[in-house]
Structure 1
């Protein structure tokens, strides 16, 4: 079907056709394919924390060297998030996801073969560019395929693959590193790069994005392909499109810029969501990235035991993500964010009062903290795309990812400075708890509720 209409009319037409689509096997298959990519990006992100004790021993790293190994990838992720959103708003969501996957796989292969620490750091930085780029773009893409009704569950059940990747990565690390060494772990992580070819053939470009770029004919062609796939999946005819509510002041421009994120209604949204991104990930990675090392240095556990203790946080985090996915359409985005950050604050408070006198006590309360913080953090991958228009959605998500990475970089460094190789952990927990308390207040008081509203209704 060919439609000749102004850009904004075509965008509304595409949105109406997407909103009428029932959930089908096609939606699940696309979500699964993108989910596999995100799963392995998460898997790759956490490998450095679990391989760090062995890398430190092999290359004789100091505390500063170990901190550099933890943070250099995060710096790459920060820059990757900064650039990828701008690129994805111009060249497409799917193309950028595929490129990020290939770079990540090649980085793993190179790190597995690294003869020294310096080339390892360089490759980890390059790989970080790809990991930081893929995750926010994928979040934008999945949000653009979803309907307003139960969008929270649809998007977050996809996003659960990220903590699942963290969990599987931690479990496999705890098994592989003590038996075959850290290089075998990175070699295994290089294999999923082959999925790039499958991705290119099976996943269509976002019709919302194509329409926002004025590529109307392509948008309509992709939309017809999607509708055909849904008809075959459901075995039923599709209902007629209903008008989609549009925000006041809708525009047809196809360009995006950082200025978009600080104009009108978007200024408050951006400041609030950036604060939550930074606080949530600072707290999460400030604690979890150092857990294997703390179990070894403070409680003198063997490497294998320390890694297994550390998996409790990842597994609890996965449980928190599933709970968020199942409740966010009922409770709303604001409540889930506030409860997640508030629960993290409470868990850190208990650890500060009790002093973490045993490895089991640390494992228990760090698991509770991870459950709540993961629930809040995963919700941001749903919430952020809802706050911005299609023309700058990937940019908004990627800049949220920049604050995410700033938190990931800052968290381990703050913990290293406060802990400084000693045995007193109470200041660490007080610091993290105070930071998440700020995030709790911001989420509860200032976050705008978005549940049940179409993307076009939320943003012009």
Structure 2
């Protein structure tokens, strides 16, 4: 049985879509789609850390104590938690690109509003709403990029897209360290409005054929697939080979629900992913959100120096993201995740044992830790999307993202409590080391390998 590469007839069953995707060569079209969605992800990362690097100034502006500062950090995480859950649920029903577009508009507009308010209460409300958009964009975007990728080299393909997120973090750190001391945090948040210009580019992308097929919209899936095939043929200058329907694995045609995440084999996967997402983001954002304030308050660094020290950590994290993108298809997901979490825990225990007695010491050891924690953060996006069928893939990614947001919420709170009660930052690094070690155990014991398998094979 054969299927013409650019057929205009409806596909017979869902498996035809996966077979047609699997025989696509890498061309400029995939790069374009990855860049457009990646640009949204870039600004998501940029805006997530703008608050952290504006915090030293905001603390002075509103005379915030430790508890108020903690809540100012946390309110964005609460919004991201809501956004991750609602975004995933909506994306599995309304479509990937509609949610990405809506999230983009939300976090762009609210960033502009935060630049022009002098009210702490209004600022926090806008930060919560901004968090909803930030929380929805990345996991849903990751689902889309996973679904247009074929099995061979999928890890590298998706992670090179995901790497733009830490690039956004790094650019946010660099821009903040230069802009905030000279022009004020307001200019930074005005820049956060610029991603709204990406809206028409996102809307012009074809919707995920896998998602359309999973919803029973086979004619729409065929049209979307035909658009992609036409673009690929234009890039290569030659017709595509016929798809191999012997690998056309078909998922069930049942509609997915949130409860499916906890049925049969997906229960174990969901619990494992919850632990990994929580532990990685607890450590990452618990440290990153407070570093500028720790440098300025504990080590008496001025604002510009504190922000420059924090840039080093973000830059180191970017190195980890690039490395994981190139090794994950060879070493596999399980080894990469467990190995990185174990190494991060050892580094954090070492910093705690040394006492975290100087700013330079903290810079060096947190930067080394960031290499491995950022790598885990990125790998989880491709890994999570792989572990669920199309009907619940966005919800599965949202489930992981929700636990990440819980980590983002609790990490800074723990740091705030430790600093408020003991004043010993070394104790906080001990806590982070313990959490990272738990993450290592979860990945090592419960992780499963998915490299070089189609999404349909993984979820038979």
TM-score using structure 1 length:
0.97
8 Å Cα contact 1:37/1:195 also seen in 2: yes
Alignment of 1:60-139 (within 5 A): 60-139=63-142
CA distance in 2, matches of 1:95, 1:69: 30
1:44 to 43, 47, 52: 47
CA distance in 2, matches of 1:242, 1:306: 56
Match of 1:336 in 2: 336
Q: Deviations over 1:144-167 (max 9, x none)?
A: 000000000000000000000000
Query: How far 1:188 sits from its partner (Å)?
Result: 1.2
Distance across 1 between alignment mates of 2:238 and 2:136:
38
Contact 1:3 1:10 (8 Å CA) reproduced? no
Output one character per residue of 1:204-248: Cα deviation in whole Å (capped at 9) or x when no partner: 10000001111111110111110000011111221221136477x
Q: Count residues in correspondence.
A: 454
Secondary structure of the equivalent of 2:238?
coil
Give the corresponding residue for 1:226.
228
Separation of aligned partners in 2, 1:450 and 1:165: 28
Q: What is the CA-CA distance between 1:3 and the residue it aligns to?
A: 4.6
Partner Cα distance (2:191, 2:371) in 1: 28
Structure 1 residue 419: Cα displacement: 2.1
Deviations 1:75-129 (A, max 9, x none): 0000011111110011100111011101111001100001210000000000100
- Partner in structure 1 of residue 209 of structure 2: 207
**Structure 1 CA distance for aligned equivalents of residues 53 and 354 of structure 2:** 26
- The CA distance in 2 between the partners of 1:245 and 1:25, in whole Å, is 25
- Unmatched 5+ stretches in structure 1: none
Which residue of 2 is the match for residue 281 of structure 1? 281
Cα shift at 1:422: 5.1
- 1:362 matched to which residue of 2? 362
Tell me by how many angstroms 1:281 deviates: 0.3
1:268 aligns with 2:268: yes
Deviations 1:326-368 (A, max 9, x none): 1000000001101111111011011011111211110000001
Instruction: Report what 1:350 is aligned to.
Output: 350
- Separation in structure 1 between the aligned mates of residue 349 and residue 72 of structure 2, nearest angstrom: 29
SS in 2 for 1:289: helix
In the other structure, the counterpart of 1:12 is 15
The SS at the match of 2:441 is: helix
Structure 2 runs not aligned, ≥5 long: 1-6
What is the rounded CA distance, in whole Å, between the counterparts of 1:280 and 1:34 in structure 2? 24
Scaled by the length of structure 2, the TM-score of the pair is 0.97
State the partner residue of 2:171.
168
Q: Is the 8 A contact 1:163 1:318 kept in 2?
A: yes
Are the equivalent residues in 1 in contact too, given 2:214–2:391 (CA < 8 A)?
yes
- What is the distance in 1 between the residues matched to 2:300 and 2:453? 52
* Residues 176, 47 of structure 1: alpha-carbon distance in 2 compared, 3 angstrom cutoff: same
Correspondence 1:412 to 2:412: yes
| Match status 1:402 vs 2:406 | no
Using the TM superposition, give the Cα deviation of residue 448 of structure 1 relative to its aligned residue in structure 2, in angstroms. 0.6
Partners of 1:179 and 1:321 in 2: CA distance: 30
Partner residue of 1:188 out of 177, 186, 191 = 191
Q: In 2, distance between residues paired with 1:64 and 1:167?
A: 27
In structure 2, how many angstroms separate the alpha carbons of the residues matched to 1:65 and 1:179? 25
Contact 1:245 1:454 in 2 (8 A): no
Task: Out of 116-125 and 264-273, give the one that drifted further.
Answer: 264-273
Q: Which runs of 4+ in 1 moved over 6 A?
A: none
Distance change >3 Å, CA 105–CA 4, structure 1 → 2: closer
Of 20, 25, 38, 1:35 maps to 38
Residues 10 and 222, structure 2, Cα contact 8 Å, conserved in 1 = no
- 1:290 match: secondary structure: helix
Q: Distance in 2 between matches of 1:53 and 1:422?
A: 21
